[in-house]
Amino acid sequence: MIVELINTGSELMLGRTLNTHQQWLCRRMADLGWPVSRQVAIADTGPEIQQAVRESLGRADLILVTGGLGPTSDDITRELIADLVNKPLRENPAIVAELKRFFAERNRPMPARNLVQAQVPEGAVVLPNPNGTAPGLAIKIEDGSWKMEDGGAGRLQSSTPNPPTAQWIVMLPGPPRELRPMFTDTVVPLLQCELPRQIFVCHTLRTSGIGESALAEIIDGPLQAFIARGLELGYCARPGQVDVRLVARIPQAEALVLDAERIITPLLSRYVYASDDEDLEAVIVRELTARKQTLAIAESCTGGCIAHRITNVPGASAILIAGLVTYANAAKEKFAGVRPETLAAHGAVSEPVAREMAEGARQATGADFALAVTGIAGPSGGTPEKPVGTVFMAVSSAAGTVAVKQLNRFDRETFKDVAAQQVLGMLRRAMV
Ligand code: ATP
Ligand code: MG
């Protein structure tokens, strides 16, 4: 089964809007076992949309098209696709009634141009839009033919061994708050009913504290036998974290992936923090909550980034006692208990200060764990001994205090993200 995704919108091509549909829909489709094999983004002009859909119709069993279902003159997806697949548009009285109700409820007169949203290609399934005015549309093409550029008929050249007997085009509205519920509530049940099931199992192990190549050195060898049996191995490196992706598309895929995961998890035990998409901070909050333990944070160069991540997790109040942003030396002394002698002898960006910040925050709050970060984000402020990017981090607990030095040469914002990820990784390892 071949699935393709076409995102329309000139704002995407002008860099004004980030194409979040690409990530969101590809992710959902992969989770459902129908990974998208090709995606294009195009401006929402007539020839571009028809050309892209025509190309996809030559290959794909399912084509998802986003955007351009609105009432303005640039919203032409519906007409262009109906024309391409030879389905005349007809006004749908139920949608007209729904549009009237939508505007009446809001005490606004309905602009006549909204009626275009009630136009439905003959035989299409209407996908209700409880969050907006443009319903989605799903068109089934059973004869495998559509209009070529010269007006002749094109045909599906599917490369799949047993292609489904019909092709589907699903059109979804552009606004994410309309598209996402529509996809979940209406499109997924439709696809599950209409499309053949496909085997696709994907597990991701998330790691921190180890680089991509070091990780590959540990697991590439032990996984060779699994790869020979059909396992697909992938790495996704991000600042401060590497994901290992295990994919299988064969019968017994689940068993193959689980066996492979069982082999490599102990090899990476210190570094793996989640076996699905859970974020590091979510794992920490969940585990500290289960252990009825607490956390304090003393940050300097990360400016609250670590506390921000922890407090993004629902239920963080059960474990977080305090997040101190002690930027000035005086604040490090007053609130994090750093001794003036330590600051004078080693400077604010130093291992002893990171240690004292963590220990001081733990003492002041009574938390079970405390972490601390102090560094030079740049672009200025570096010295030959402590260049820009130098950061010291510490984790303190009843078991003692561990501290490390890292060199993160990034722009300021990435530097903060990476340092936060690293120290949260340290905390996680200290908790194991
Ligand atoms: P509308 O009725 O709002 O015109 P529409 O179906 O015609 O809906 P578009 O005009 O293409 O959709 O886009 C509407 C808005 O949806 C855009 O301004 C943008 O904010 C958002 N949007 C569209 N496509 C995407 C995308 N691929 N990723 C993220 N946001 C998008
Ligand atoms: Mg629009």
For residue 9, the surrounding DSSP H or E stretch is: none
For residue 228, the surrounding DSSP H or E stretch is: helix 212-228
CA atoms within 13 A on the CB side of 336: 35
pLDDT at 176: 96
Q: Whose CA is nearest to atom 1 of ligand 1?
A: 70
> If you measure from the C-alpha of residue 69 to the centroid of ligand 1, how many angstroms do you get, rounded to a whole number?
9
> If you measure from the C-alpha of residue 172 to the centroid of ligand 1, how many angstroms do you get, rounded to a whole number?
10
> If you measure from the C-alpha of residue 71 to the centroid of ligand 2, how many angstroms do you get, rounded to a whole number?
7
Mean pLDDT of the chain: 92
Tell me: the pLDDT tens digits for 294-308?
999 999 999 999 999
pLDDT at 162: 58
> If you measure from the C-alpha of residue 67 to the centroid of ligand 1, how many angstroms do you get, rounded to a whole number?
5
Using left for φ > 0, alpha for ψ between -120 and 50, and beta otherwise, residue 172 falls in: beta
78 alpha carbon, closest ligand: 1
For 280, phi then psi, to 5°, come to: -55, -45
> If you measure from the C-alpha of residue 175 to the centroid of ligand 2, how many angstroms do you get, rounded to a whole number?
8
5 alpha carbon, closest ligand: 1
For residue 138, the surrounding DSSP H or E stretch is: strand 136-141
pLDDT of 159 above 60? no
Ligand 1 atom at shortest distance from the alpha carbon of 7: 27
Tell me: the pLDDT tens digits for 45-74?
878 899 999 999 999 999 999 999 988 877
Q: Whose CA is nearest to atom 28 of ligand 1?
A: 19
Ligand 1 atom at shortest distance from the alpha carbon of 134: 2
Choosing from 7, 13, 17 the residue with most ligand 1 atoms within 8 A of its CB, the one to mutate for a pocket test is 17
Ligand 1 atom at shortest distance from the alpha carbon of 132: 2
Choosing from 22, 66, 78 the residue with most ligand 1 atoms within 8 A of its CB, the one to mutate for a pocket test is 66
Q: Whose CA is nearest to atom 16 of ligand 1?
A: 175
> If you measure from the C-alpha of residue 86 to the centroid of ligand 2, how many angstroms do you get, rounded to a whole number?
23
> If you measure from the C-alpha of residue 103 to the centroid of ligand 1, how many angstroms do you get, rounded to a whole number?
20
* Residue 317 DSSP one-character state: G
Confidence of residue 44 (pLDDT cuts 50, 70, 90): confident
**Separation CA 287–CA 282 (nearest Å):** 8
pTM of the model: 0.74
Please identify every residue whose CB atom is under 5 Å from ligand 2, which is an ion: 70, 75
Tell me: the pLDDT tens digits for 403-427?
999 999 999 999 999 999 999 999 9
Angle at the Cα of 212 (from 208 to 213), degrees rounded to 5?
140
CA atoms within 13 A on the CB side of 18: 3
pLDDT of 292 above 60? yes
Tell me: the pLDDT tens digits for 337-383?
999 999 999 999 999 999 999 999 999 999 999 999 999 999 999 99
Residue pair 370/390 in contact (Cβ under 8 Å)? The answer is no
176 alpha carbon, closest ligand: 1
Tell me: the pLDDT tens digits for 95-146?
999 999 999 999 999 999 999 999 999 999 999 999 998 999 999 998 766 6
Pocket of ligand 1 from Cβ distances under 6 Å = 7, 9, 11-12, 17, 19-21, 66-70, 72, 75, 134, 173-176
Cβ neighbours for 329, distance < 8 A, ≥ 6 positions apart: 338, 343, 348
Ligand 1 atom at shortest distance from the alpha carbon of 179: 6
Q: Facing residues of 171 across strands?
A: 65, 137
